[in-house]
Amino acid sequence: MAVVDDASLIRESFGLLMPGLDVVAAVATVEELTRRRPVVDAVLLDLHLANLEQPDVRQGIAAIRALTSRGYRVCTYSQEERRFVLAACIAAGASGVVAKALPTGRAERLLIEVASGGTAVPQSVVGILEVLVRRNCITLLSERQRQILYGRARGLSYGQIAKQLFVSESTLRGYWLDLTRSLSDSLRSLTPSEIERALGLAPGDLLELWPEEATDAKDWWRVDTGK
């Protein structure tokens, strides 16, 4: 796993605090990581990378896009809690979104899951996805997918949902992985106005948060809150 975080203490201590992770690269910028091009299962990415020493570096959605376009699986690791920003990260291609506020052990489990090919979608984003499905912004063809999303949106564990659907937990995790990929793809195809309409937001509420295809500037990210 590679770590991209502007705080040197955090990026250097990952290997020590999370022994289950094999950190092969720990860098301060996405640009440096893409230059070194390490072979890793996933990149752990802090969303906010610009500071006085590196004011112009790529961060946020632009950083996610830069990494996913080079074939990396990305898991963000940030203090960001705004649900639409987190949803935007998933829409931009992140496989996981893990909050820095989580206990270390739980964060480590989620990071390993993403590195193993799984996903880590925060509850608030699952809620947004459920609303978009319910309001026909995203179409789910499979009845089973609907059932899984229904359970996950209510916070049920894989074990509980698997028991109710009479499938094994590993099978259900597979379903959930397929579902989150499908939902992320669908989310990416939506425009901010479509999402605003579905969620009952005011026009323009998402304009500055949502990654439209044309917006790839490295400084679009608003850093006035969240860190």
Q: Which residues bind another protein (CB under 8 A)?
A: 101-103, 106, 122-124, 126-128, 130-131, 133-134, 140, 143, 146-151, 153-157, 159-161, 164-165, 199-200
CB-based contact 48:54 (threshold 8 Å):
no
Rounded Cα–Cα distance for residues 191 and 204 (Å): 11
Which residue lies nearer to another protein by CB, 11 or 152? Answer: 152
β-sheet bridge partners, residue 78: 99
Least Å distance, CB 150 to another protein, is: 3
Which residue lies nearer to another protein by CB, 123 or 191? Answer: 123
Least Å distance, CB 158 to another protein, is: 11
Sign for the CA dihedral angle at 157, 163, 167, 169 comes to positive
Least Å distance, CB 156 to another protein, is: 7
Rounded Cα–Cα distance for residues 180 and 120 (Å): 9
Which residue lies nearer to another protein by CB, 24 or 165? Answer: 165
Least Å distance, CB 83 to another protein, is: 9
User: For the chain, what's the residue count?
Assistant: 227
Which residue lies nearer to another protein by CB, 53 or 166? Answer: 166
CA angle 107, 113, 115 (to 5 degrees): 105
Which residue lies nearer to another protein by CB, 23 or 102? Answer: 102
Sign for the CA dihedral angle at 105, 20, 167, 127 comes to positive
β-sheet bridge partners, residue 28: none
Least Å distance, CB 140 to another protein, is: 8
